[in-house]
Amino acid sequence: MSGSAIMMGTAFLLPIAAAWLALERWWPGGPTQRSDRLLRLSLAGPFGAGLSSLFFFVWALAFDPSGRAMVIVETVVLFLAVIILFLMIFRNKTREVTACLPKSSSTAVSESLFPGRLINIVACAGIASLALVSFISRLLESPHGGWDAWAIWNLRARFLYRSGPFWTDSFSPELFWSSPDYPLGLPGFVASGWKFLGSETVLIPMLVAIVFFLAIGGLLFASLRCLTGQSAAVMGLIALTGTPLFIRHAAFQEADVPVAFFFLATTALMATYDNDTTRHRGWLVLAGIAVSLAAWTKNEGLLFLLALATARVTLRAFQKKWQQLGREGLNLLLGAAPTLAVLVTFKIRLAPPSGFFSQLSWDTVCEKLFDWSRYQETAPAFFKAMSTFGGSMGVLIIITLILVGFERSGFRQKRWLSGMIVLGLMLIGYFFIYIVTPERLSWHLATSLNRLLLQLWPMTVFLVYLNLREVGASKSRTG
Amino acid sequence: MDVSTFLRSRWRGIAGILLVSALAAYNLLGVVSWNRLRHPSDLDTNEISTYIRRFDELRDTLRFYRVAGYRDDGQDPAGWFLAQYAHAPTVLVQGAEPSVVVANFHSDTSTMKQWVEDNLRLVQDFGQRVRLYEGLGQ
DSSP A124-177: HHHHHHHHHHHHHHHHHH-TT-SHHIIIIIHHHHHHHHH-GGGGGGGG-GGGGG
Predicted local distance difference test score (pLDDT) of residue A36: 79
Domain total of chain A: 1
Say yes or no to pLDDT of B119 above 80. Answer: yes
* pLDDT, tens digit, 9 for 90 and up, residues A284-324: 999 999 999 999 999 999 999 999 999 999 999 988 888 88
Which pLDDT tens digit goes with each residue over A385-394?
A: 988 887 667 7
Helix (H, G, I), strand (E, B) or coil at A103: coil
CA distance A95 to chain B (A): 38
Measured between alpha carbons, how far is residue A446 from residues A106, A246, A377, A451, A452 in Å?
Answer: 44, 17, 11, 10, 11
* A 193-232: CB under 8 A from B: 202, 231
Give me the pLDDT at residue A35, please.
Answer: 66
Helices and strands: H and E segment counts in chain B: 7, 5
Q: Give the domain extent around A48.
A: 3-90+132-352+385-466
The predicted model gives A24-34 an average pLDDT of 69
Is A437 or B17 the better-scoring residue by pLDDT? A437
How far is the alpha carbon of A475 from chain B, nearest alpha carbon, in Å? 13
A132 touches chain B (CB under 8 A): no
Residue A108, in any domain of the structure? no
Contact assignment for A242 to B19 by CB distance below 8 Å: no
pLDDT of residue A112: 47
Mean pLDDT lowest among A259-263, A268-272, B1-5 = B1-5
Residue A452 reports pLDDT greater than 60: yes
Contact A146, A252 (CB under 8 A): yes
Testing the interface with B: which of A120, A122, A137, A402 to mutate, by most B Cβ within 10 A? A137
A107 pLDDT tier (thresholds 50, 70, 90): very low
| pLDDT classification of B8: cutoffs 50, 70, 90 | low
Position A31 scores a pLDDT of 46
Residue A339 clears pLDDT 70, i.e. is over it: yes
Pairing of strands B91-94, B67-72: parallel
Is B45 part of the contact surface with chain A (CB cutoff 8 Å)?
no
DSSP state of A213: H
Chain B residues touching A175 at Cβ < 8 A: 84, 91
Contacting A residues, span 152-181, partner chain B, CB-CB under 8 Å: 154-155, 158-159, 162-163, 166-167, 169-170, 172, 174-175, 177-178
- C-alpha A338/C-alpha A334 separation (Å) is 8
Residue B5 to chain A, least CA–CA distance (Å):
13
**Cβ atoms of A352 and A171 closer than 8 Å:** yes
Which residues of chain B neighbour A174 with C-beta distances below 8 Å? 67, 91, 93
Q: Nearest 5 degrees, angle CA A139-CA A145-CA A151?
A: 175
pLDDT tens per residue, range A377-387? 999 999 999 88
Q: How far is A214 from chain B (nearest CA, A)?
A: 16
Contact flag B16-A178 (C-beta cutoff 8 Å) = no
Rounded-to-integer distance, Cα A201 and Cα A355, Å: 30
* For range A457-479, the mean pLDDT: 74
Question: What average pLDDT is seen over chain A?
Answer: 87
A78 occurs within a structural domain: yes
Burial track B47-61 (b if 16+ CB lie within 10 A, e otherwise): ebeebbebbeebbee
* Closest C-alpha to A312, from A411, A414, A189: A414
Distance to chain B for A448, nearest Cα, Å: 17
CA distances to A416, A453, A456 from A460, rounded to whole Å, are: 11, 10, 6
Closest by CA to A352, choosing from A200, A181, A194, is A181
Q: Is the pLDDT of residue A229 over 90?
A: no
User: At A356, is the pLDDT very low, low, confident or very high (cuts 50, 70, 90)?
Assistant: confident
Which of the residue ranges A128-132, A407-411, B55-59 would you say has the lowest mean pLDDT? A407-411
Which pLDDT tens digit goes with each residue over A131-177? 999 999 999 999 999 999 999 999 999 999 998 888 999 999 889 99
Q: Is the pLDDT higher at A229 or at A430?
A: A430
pLDDT of residue A81: 92
Read off the pLDDT band of B10 (50, 70, 90).
low
Does A360 fall in a domain? Answer: no
Please give the pLDDT value at position A472. Answer: 57
Task: Give me the mean pLDDT over the A191-203 stretch.
Answer: 91
Distances (CA, A) of A187 to A151, A154, A161, A297, A396: 12, 6, 9, 9, 37
Residue A209: partners with Cβ closer than 8 Å, 6 or more residues away: A139, A145, A250, A251, A253, A257
User: Is the minimum CB–CB distance between A392 and chain B shorter than 8 Å?
Assistant: yes
Quote the pLDDT of residue B136: 77
Nearest to A458 by CA among A407, A425, A419: A419
* pLDDT at res. A204: 94
Name the phi and psi angles at B70, rounded to 5: -145, 135
Quick check: is A106 in a domain? no
The stretch A458-479 carries a mean pLDDT of 73
In a domain, A55, yes or no: yes
Return the higher-pLDDT residue of B38 and B78: B78
Residue A8 lies in a domain: yes
Helix, strand and coil in chain A, % to nearest 5:
80, 0, 20
d(CA A293, CA A288): 9
Q: Which residues of B91-110 are buried (b: 16+ CB within 10 A; e: fewer)?
A: bbbeebebebbbbbbeeeee
Determine which of A233-237, A291-295, B37-41 has the lowest per-residue pLDDT on average. Answer: B37-41
Classify A469 as helix, strand or coil: coil
Residue A101 reports pLDDT greater than 60: no
The dihedrals phi and psi of A220, each to the nearest 5 degrees, come to -65, -45
DSSP B77: T
Which of the residue ranges A2-11, A53-62, A252-261, B101-110 would you say has the lowest mean pLDDT?
A2-11
Q: Does B122 touch chain A (CB under 8 A)?
A: no
This model of the complex carries an ipTM of: 0.89
Domain presence at residue A367? no
pLDDT at A471 > cutoff 70: no
pLDDT at B9 over 80: no
pLDDT number for residue A267: 97
The C-alpha atoms of residue A19 and residue A46 are separated, in whole angstroms, by: 9
Distance between CA atoms of A346 and A369, rounded to whole angstroms?
31
A93 pLDDT band, cuts 50/70/90, is: low
CA distance A44 to A33: 18
Q: Which of A349-353, A387-391, A428-432, B62-66: highest mean pLDDT?
A: A428-432
Give mean pLDDT, residues A465-477. 66
Instruction: Provide the pLDDT confidence category of residue A475 given band limits of 50, 70 and 90.
Output: very low
Residue A11 lies in a domain: yes
- Give the C-alpha separation, A422 to A267, whole Å: 9
Name which of B38, B43, B63 to mutate to probe chain A: the one with the most chain A Cβ atoms within 10 A of its Cβ. B43
Is residue B70 scored above 90 in pLDDT? yes
In sequence order, the 6+-apart residues with CB closer than 8 A to the CB of A204 are A8, A11, A190, A193, A194, A197
Assess A131–B contact: CB distance below 8 Å, yes or no.
yes
Please give the average per-residue pLDDT across A183-211, as a whole number: 93
For position A400, what pLDDT does the model report? Answer: 75
